[in-house]
Structure 1
C-alpha cells in the first residue's frame, strides 16, 4: 500500500520548482488579465493602447473609404497635431452619430421645418 503523507496544519515550504511554476502562472495571469480568457483557451485580443489613429485605420474602423474621410475632414470631428490629422475614439463615435438615419423621424423633421419657416421674423420694422 502506498504511504500517504499527512498534511500538517502549518505552512509548508515550497521548493524551487514549485516557486518557478507559481511565478509562471502569475506571469500568465498578468499578461492575460482575465482568468476566464485563460481557462477558455481563446487568446485574448491584443489591447490597443494608442490614444489616436490616422486616416487609414479610422476609415477601416468606420468601414468607409479613406478618400471619403479626407474629402470631408473640415466638417468632421478630429484632432490636429500640426499637419497631422488624428482621430480619437470619441471622434469616431461622433462621426458615426452624425450620420445616423432613422426613417421614421423624417416626417417629423419635415413638419418641424415647415413650422419653423412660417414663424415671423424677430426683427422689427421701421414705421414711417
Structure 2
C-alpha cells in the first residue's frame, strides 16, 4: 500500500507559502506557510498533520486490539500533541503525547492499559521515525 501527497512551495522560507494536496482529495491545495507553522494563521502545518496521523493510527490500532480481545470500544477519543523544538540550526519533532479517553464496557483497567500500550508501540505512525527514508531529488526547469 502506498499513499501519496504533494507539497508545493513558492518563495523564501519565511515569506513564502505553499499548499498541500493528498491523492484522496481530503487536502486540496491546503495552505501552509511560516505563519501557519509558527504563528496562528489559517492553514495547516506538518506537525498538525503528523498529530492527526498519529492520533488516527493509534486509535484504529487500539480498536482492532479491543475487537480481537472480545471487548470492542463504545468510543475512543485520542488527542496527539506534537512538539516542535529548536535543534541546533534547525528544529526537531521531539514528542507526540497521546491522550486517550475510552469507553470500553466489560474491560478491566490492567487489560486496557496492556492493549493501549501495545497499540501505541505497534501502530505504524509510532514507528515512522525509524522508517527507511529514500530521496529522489532532481532539478527541473
TM-score (structure 2 length as normaliser): 0.24
Structure of higher CA gyration radius: 1
Q: Which has the higher helix share?
A: 1
Give the TM-score, by structure 1 length: 0.26
